[in-house]
Structures are given as C-alpha cells and as structure tokens.
C-alpha cells in the first residue's frame, strides 16, 4: 500500500460515459483497509461499470480513483496484481478437479510451488473438502463452488477482493456460511468490495452504498441507513431509493 494513501479505495467524482450516456456519474467514496463495503444498486445502476474501472479493466471518462494506493489511469497493472476478483460465474474450471483448479489459479497468481502446496492443503482443509479434492468442480453443489471460488480469488492474499454478486442462486443459510469466509478474510486485513441484490448480505457489511441511475444516493452503515430512512428493514431502505430509478434491467 502506498504510504501517501491509507485507504483501500479512494474515489472522487469518478465517471464513465458511453457516447452521450453517463453510466457512472461523479461517484465519490473511500473504503477503509479491511472494511467490508457493500456496493448496491438496482439493475443498470452502474455497479459493474464502476467496478470494472476500480479493477483496472476500463478507463474512467473523468474523476480520480486509487485502488490499493495505485492510480486507475496510470497503474492498472499494479492494481490487477494487488486485487482478487470473483464474479457470479465464479470462473472455476468445471472439468478440472478442486486441487487442479487451486493449482491453476495459484500458478496464475504467481505463487511458488512451495507456497502453492501449503496454500492448497490449508484451503482444502478449511473448506472441509479433503475427501472431495480430486473430484471435478462441476460435480460440487453451487454453494461449495462459490466458497471454493472465493478462496481461490484470495489465494495470493490480495489487498482487496472484488466480489460481483458472489452468492447468486443459493439460500440464506448457504450465504451465511459464505460470509464466514468473508469475515475471516477481512480479519486478516483483506478489504472486501461486494455487490449484491440480497438484503441479508447488505446487513453483513460494515457500510453500504446504494447507487441509483449512475449516482450514489446513500452511503452509511446498515444501522444508520435504517435510522435515516425511518425503517427497520434494509429492503425498505433499498426500495425507497430504487423506486425513483429511471433505468431498469436491460
């Protein structure tokens, strides 16, 4: 982490335009090191577009941002080396075994053979998958695939991990188990940036932002947001904000 920037993510009036269409409109926020930051918004609000800029995958049109202390315009390669990423499609190879997936991604992230051996033993045992290690990933239940994908996304101990709807399609109990892994990572100082449509997950975050039509309309802890919107339900906070949205799912 750059000594001059003690935030995991710092973003000031960051914007992205496609032609005349402003997909992300001057968003500003900081994320603390080790924080679990929820990035919420209705379909089409601009979350993926914003996340792609922060991951060093696309250039902003205007504004400033640093991720792990690195500039999103000038240091995209350094950003990529310091982050982990998991999407809803969880990017595992279904026709490779659990161990082969761990070895493949560990290799991609540049782990030495020795570290890779230690890490894969550790990971398989933490997940309780010792007996399944040689099974094809395709044969695992969805919840296990998601846990494995998350563990693989942080196998290189990145400074920040970006999770794009990581628990789509599983029940609240399985989501809760997934979040135990998130808390462990956060306790080790890994910053978590997570998008979700599930309000139970929003409640697990330290702070959440809610995007509407390209702008951040609210940002605070779940408790403070509920106070601010005079309700005891995050669903209701989200609904009060999102019902004014002009954009909808494509």
Contacting positions for ligand ATP (CB under 6 A): 18, 21, 23, 41, 43-49, 247, 249-250
Minimum CB distance to ligand ATP smaller for 44 or for 56: 44
Structure tokens at 73: 């315009």
Closer to ligand ATP by CB, 4 or 248: give it: 248
Residue 191 contacts residue 160 (beta carbons within 8 Å): yes
Q: Please, what is the minimum distance in Å from the beta carbon of residue 205 to ligand ATP?
A: 17
Q: Are strands 207-212 and 36-41 parallel, antiparallel or unpaired?
A: parallel
Q: Cβ of residue 59: shortest distance to ligand ATP, in angstroms?
A: 12
Rounded Cα gap, residues 75 and 13, in angstroms: 19
* Shortest separation between residue 131's beta carbon and ligand ATP, angstroms: 36
Nearer to ligand ATP, 59 or 93 (CB): 59
Q: Given the complex with ligand ATP, which of 25 and 120 has the nearer CB atom?
A: 25
- Whose Cβ is closer to ligand ATP: residue 49's or residue 82's? 49
Report in angstroms how near the CB of residue 55 gets to ligand ATP at its nearest. 13
CA 132 to CA 138: how far, in whole Å?
Answer: 12
- 96 phi, psi to nearest 5 deg: -110, 155
CB of 38 vs ligand ATP, minimal distance in Å: 13
**87 exposed, middle or buried (CB, 10 Å; 0-12, 13-18, 19+)?**
middle
Q: State how beta strands 7-18 and 70-71 pair.
A: unpaired
């Amino acid at each position: 982490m750059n000594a001059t920037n003690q935030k995991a993510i710092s973003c000031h009036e960051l914007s992205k335009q496609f032609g005349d269409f402003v997909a992300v409109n001057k968003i500003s926020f900081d994320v603390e090191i080790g924080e679990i930051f929820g990035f919420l918004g209705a379909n089409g609000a601009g979350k993926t577009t914003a996340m792609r800029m922060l991951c060093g995958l696309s250039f902003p049109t205007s504004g400033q941002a640093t991720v792990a202390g690195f500039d999103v315009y000038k240091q995209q390669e350094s950003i990529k080396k310091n982050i982990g990423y998991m999407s809803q499609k969880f990017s595992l190879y279904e026709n490779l075994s659990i161990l082969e997936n761990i070895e493949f991604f560990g290799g991609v992230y540049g782990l030495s053979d020795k570290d890779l051996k230690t890490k894969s033993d550790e990971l398989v045992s933490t997940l309780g998958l010792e007996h399944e290690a040689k099974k094809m990933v395709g044969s695992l239940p969805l919840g296990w695939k998601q846990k494995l994908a998350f563990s693989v996304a942080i196998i290189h101990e990145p400074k920040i991990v970006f999770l794009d709807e990581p628990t789509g399609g599983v029940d609240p109990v399985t989501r809760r188990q997934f979040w135990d892994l998130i808390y462990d990572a956060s306790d080790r100082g890994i910053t978590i940036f997570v998008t979700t449509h599930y309000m139970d997950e929003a409640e697990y975050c330290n702070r959440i932002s809610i995007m509407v039509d390209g702008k951040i309309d609210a940002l605070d802890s779940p408790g403070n947001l509920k106070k601010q919107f005079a309700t005891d339900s995050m669903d209701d906070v989200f609904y009060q904000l999102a019902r004014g949205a002009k954009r909808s799912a494509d």
